[in-house]
Each structure stands twice: as structure tokens, then as C-alpha cells.
Amino acid sequence: MSGFTDYHAHFVYGVDDGARTREEMYAMLDAAVQDGVSCLYATSHSTPGMEPFPQEVYDRHLMFARDYCKAKGYDLTLESGSELLYTPAAGYAAAQRQLITLSGTDWVLLEFVPDVTAKELEEAVSAVTYAGYCVLLAHIERFPALAKDGLLPRLRREYGVRCQINCTAVLNSGFFQRRKLERWLKEGWVDAISSDAHNCSSRPTRMTAAYEKLCSWLGQDAAKRLTGQYGNFLD
């Protein structure tokens, strides 16, 4: 067993709305280690087919992050990736095999606008998987369409979709949101809890707190699985 695996974080500075400076990136890495994370994905935002991703800047700044972890002696693996916003243009980019994947695998971290319809969501997943990718849906608690007409289990069954929930959803949900999340968790429709960290203040890493809450909801074994302590399911 290892530390937490965090599949969703925005610590690479100067690329999106995450870390703004090298110093802030380093502080986020310090915080991740202190929070018990041992594997961290650098999932900067991208909009495939619409705006060019600053790949050269991303690669250089991720290298700075890896050098920093090495110099500090951190047992923290940093993996590459992106959080992809799906649009019709992204569907075309998928068909051209131009999507940024998680650590060079076939997995993509996919997000949508909050008001995406069930039809749009299923068509998007179908297009991306047809192109040969595997889909990890980001922060599924944000998409009401997934709770309708059996869509979530159907996406898992028919398209092999995996699902991620943010720590904040586990920790801060109101009564009705919590009931929905608990059902999804108990049905086995959630595969990962991740931080979606953007900084050290308003949107920090909270993996330990989420793990402790999950232990109280589901028991220790399930909490360890959901926080990646039994290994990386993308391997």
C-alpha cells in the first residue's frame, strides 16, 4: 500500500487558472506531500480543437516541479495529463487522435459544462471512446444529467467509463448532494476521489480529510481504494 493517488490537480504554473508562479507551484507540491499524496497528476485545463495548448511551457514547468521534488527528497511521482473540456471541436480532435492523455496512456480526463444534457454527454463519450480513448469523467458531482435515466451506470457498462469526484464534494455536500454521492459510492460507480487543487488557499489539496470522511461512510478498505492507496487503476 502507498500514499494517495490524486488524478486531478492544477499545480503546473502559468498554464491555466491553477498555480500562477513557480513559488506557488512549489508550495502546492509541499502541501500535497504533507497531505499524504504519493502520485500526482498535472491536469492543466485544455480545450482541444479550439485553443492551442501551451505544451512547451507546460513541459518545462512540469520539469521544474520534478526537479524540485527530487531536490527536496520527496517520494512524490508527478504524472502528465490535462483536464479536457469537451466541445464539438474536441470530438474532431479525438477522431484525429490529438487529445492529451494521462501519462501517455489511452486515458483522458474529460469535463463538460455544468448544464450538459444527457444526450450530449453520451454522444461525447461515444465519440471519444470510438476514437480509441478511455474516459475518466472529472468531478461527476457537477453534472445533474448523470443522475437521470440510468445514464451513469450505462456509461460505465457500455463505454467503460471511470468516474472521479472532488474532495470538496465529499467534505462539503448538503443533504441531497450527499445522498446522491453516497448512493453512487455504494453502487461502485465512483473510482477515484481527487483534489482538483488549484492553490493552497481557496482550492487546496484535501485528500486526507476526504479519506477520513470516506472511512466513516464506507469503511477503510473502500476509502483506501477510492483514494488510490492500492495503486493506480490507469496502469
Q: How far apart are CA 191 and CA 99, in angstroms?
A: 22
Tens-digit pLDDT profile for residues 52-69: 999 999 999 999 999 999
pTM: 0.96
Residues in CB range of 45: below 8 A, 6 or more apart: 10, 15, 16, 17, 82, 83, 85
Mean pLDDT value across residues 35-45: 98
Domains of the chain: 4-226 (3.20.20.140)
Tens-digit pLDDT profile for residues 113-151: 999 999 999 999 999 999 999 999 999 999 999 999 999
